[in-house]
Amino acid sequence: MKHLLTMNDLSIEEIMGLLSDAEQFAKGETWRPKRNYYISNLFFEPSTRTKSSFEMAERKLGLEIIPFEAHTSSVLKGETLYDTVRTLESIGVDSVVIRHTEDNYFAKLIQSGVYLSIMNAGDGCGHHPTQCLLDLLTIKQEFGQFSGLKVAIVGDIRHSRVARSNAETLRRLGAEVVFSGPENWANIKGSGIAYEPIDTAVETADVFMLLRIQHERHSAGMPLTKEEYLAQFGLTLERESRMKQKCIIMHPAPVNRGVEIEDALVECERSRIFKQMENGVFARMAALKNSIEHKEGAGLNETMYTK
Annotated binding-site members for carbamoyl phosphate: 49-50, 99, 128, 131, 253-254
49 near ligand CP, rule: CB under 6 A: yes
Kindly state the smallest distance separating residue 151's Cβ from ligand CP, in Å. 17
Nearer to ligand CP, 95 or 131 (CB): 131
The Cβ of residue 91 has, within 10 Å, a number of other Cβ atoms equal to 10
252 near ligand CP, rule: CB under 6 A: yes
Instruction: Pick the binder of ligand CP from 8, 11, 30, 48 (CB under 6 A).
Output: 48
Instruction: Pick the binder of ligand CP from 253, 255, 300, 304 (CB under 6 A).
Output: 253
- Beta strand segments in the chain, E: 38-43, 64-65, 95-100, 117-123, 150-154, 176-180, 194-195, 207-210, 248-250
Crossing angle of helices 129-143 and 161-172, in 10° steps, is 50
Report the alpha-carbon distance of residue 224 to residue 232 in Å, rounded.
10
131 near ligand CP, rule: CB under 6 A: yes
Q: Which segment (78-86, 103-111, 220-228, 251-259) binds ligand CP by CB under 6 A?
A: 251-259
33 near ligand CP, rule: CB under 6 A: no
Nearer to ligand CP, 257 or 294 (CB): 257
Instruction: Pick the binder of ligand CP from 47, 73, 141, 214 (CB under 6 A).
Output: 47
How far the first Cα of the chain sits from its last, in Å, is: 18
129 near ligand CP, rule: CB under 6 A: no
User: Could you write out the DSSP letters of every residue in 72-90?
Assistant: GSGGGGT--HHHHHHHHHH
Nearer to ligand CP, 45 or 293 (CB): 45
Residue 296: DSSP 8-state: H
- The answer to whether 141 and 107 are in contact (CB under 8 A) is no
User: Could you write out the DSSP letters of every residue in 98-137?
Assistant: EEESSTTTHHHHHHTT--SEEEEEEETTS--HHHHHHHHH
Q: Which segment (46-54, 136-144, 237-245, 264-272) binds ligand CP by CB under 6 A?
A: 46-54
Interface residue list for ligand CP (CB under 6 A) = 47-50, 122, 131, 252-254
